[in-house]
Amino acid sequence: MVVNLSLEMLCFVLAGILLVRLNILEKGFAKKLSTFIMDVALPCMLVRIITQEEFEGDLAELAVIIGMAFAYLAVLFILGQVFYKAMGQTENARLARFSCIFTNFTFFGVPIMEGLYGARGLFLFTMFCLPARFFYYGSPAMLLTGASEHKGLTFRQKARHYITPPIIAIFIGLFLYFTGIELPSFLSNAVKGMGGVCSPLGMMICGMTIADVRLKDVITNRPAIIMTLAKGLAAPLCIIALVCFIPLDPLLKKVICMDAALPIPALITTFSLQYNLSEPSCRNASLALCASTVLAIISTPLWAMAFDVIFK
């Protein structure tokens, strides 16, 4: 099953690559498509996940999930700082730190969690990623530039960095879930249909992003290799050590560790451009995204089997 899921995801990635290489779509189309996914499809999917899943727990268990999410981010931030210091606090070092902390939890994580662990695993993953989403959209200015660009901004302007459509959708879903309010059938079906395109389109975006990358460029790029190994090997091992001896639901442990094994964030190149990193650093970010995505497609089945053995 895991191998089939990886191959299915690879088909979507290859489709994105071919669409760009055959000039059916321009590479810049990926940015427009990602805006649609982040502002429309992903919020619909999140509302569907939260409102349709039966959460066999209570608010105390939800608090445990959120608490583990903050502990997880703290451990990965420390790991990121280690790479940041070791790489000389350069722009590439900042990219390595950012890629250690955050993952491709939307475009890559959602299909992985749903395919491996079903609706409940996806629900746990959605709740677990809530703190990460806040920091992912709000911290790039500090983590990638080395200085806060929020100085002089009003509270309202700062809030816009955090209150994004996916975040709003999560709170809407939680409100509907805990109040028991049901959407009209026509609206529920529309939300379900719109959210259903999120995962396949997200994987195609990954392909569009790396369409012009050559294998030779990846394997000879030292910063990209460091970022890939930091995310694909060091991060999962650190998180396994974190959760191994903590009394948690085995499924939650698998979800947490699988999140750590996901590739680096899909928007890392976009953030690099947005915060005016140098052209070589932006290219390194793209190469690292390519290498990390390919590695994750290969390593995901191996990690899944390992987690099944470790967390019985």
Within 8 A by CB and 6+ apart from 261, the residues are 232, 235, 236, 296, 299, 300, 303
pLDDT at 230 over 80: yes
More confident residue, 297 or 242: 242
Q: Are 201 and 33 in contact (CB under 8 A)?
A: yes
Rounded Cα distance, 23 and 20, in Å: 5
Rounded Cα distance, 98 and 223, in Å: 13
Helix (H, G, I), strand (E, B) or coil at 221: coil
Rounded Cα distance, 3 and 292, in Å: 18
- Position 124 scores a pLDDT of 87
Rounded Cα distance, 310 and 312, in Å: 6
Q: What is the pLDDT of residues 162-192, one digit of tens each?
A: 677 877 888 888 888 878 888 888 998 998 8
What's the pTM value of the predicted model, to 2 decimals? 0.74
Helix (H, G, I), strand (E, B) or coil at 278: coil
Q: What is the mean pLDDT of the chain?
A: 81
- Position 55 scores a pLDDT of 56
CATH architecture of the domain covering 2-310: Up-down Bundle (1.20)
Number of helices followed by number of strands (H, E) in the chain: 18, 0
Structure tokens at 255: 């979800």
pLDDT at 18 over 80: yes
What is the share, in percent, of the chain residues with pLDDT greater than 90?
Answer: 14
Q: What is the pLDDT of residues 62-112, one digit of tens each?
A: 888 889 999 999 999 999 999 999 988 888 889 989 989 998 887 778 888
Q: What is the pLDDT of residues 138-160, one digit of tens each?
A: 677 678 775 545 555 566 666 66
Q: What is the pLDDT of residues 248-288, one digit of tens each?
A: 889 999 999 999 998 888 777 767 766 667 777 877 887 88
